[in-house]
Structure 1
Amino acid sequence: MQKHVVEIEFCTQCRWLLRAAWLAQELLTTFEQDLASVNLVPGTGGILEVRLNGAVLYSRKAMGRFPEAKELKQLIRDVIDPERSLGHSDGHQADKPGAS
């Protein structure tokens, strides 16, 4: 099974370390068997960007807002295991025909 790498680049000038660390904790808890690491990458200029295996999944600047933990979990799940249910925080299974 391939282990994936998540990077969360955050703005040190904006003091977003705690937000980035909280997101990292949420991802590590949800994908503990699937992730090789979640790396916090200091940046500047208002950046908050989440990358999976080098590909940008979420950019605060592009979206104009901060990501929700649920949203990031869904984005990562959709890449690494699209059929996985995320439980109560997931609308994925409810969207499938015949799912309850």
Structure 2
Amino acid sequence: MKAFNLSISRKIPLAITVVGIVAASMMALLGIQSGRDALTVQAHSNLQALVASRETALDNYLSSIRSDLDIQASNQTVILAIESFNQAWHAIEGDKTEV
């Protein structure tokens, strides 16, 4: 009960201090929440940009492979090699998978 028997000259500064601490704590919590939300949004945005970048890179890579295959498909050396392979494959007697 001694705490309640303080003089008014001690109660007023104590009350102001408590109110200030509570207000500062609330502002700190709101700042932390706001910062966390901003970081979450930024991380999501960064991940979306990364996905778009990877998608473009993969599309370019697959396009280059498709282009290489088209070029090789019309290359006379490759065509002759495939024909020779087919002839040799058909020339194998018996089970061809056992060789």
TM superposition score normalised by structure 1: 0.22
Which has more strand, going by share of residues?
Answer: 1
Which has more helix, going by share of residues?
Answer: 2
Structure having greater relative contact order (Cα 8 Å, sep ≥ 6): 1
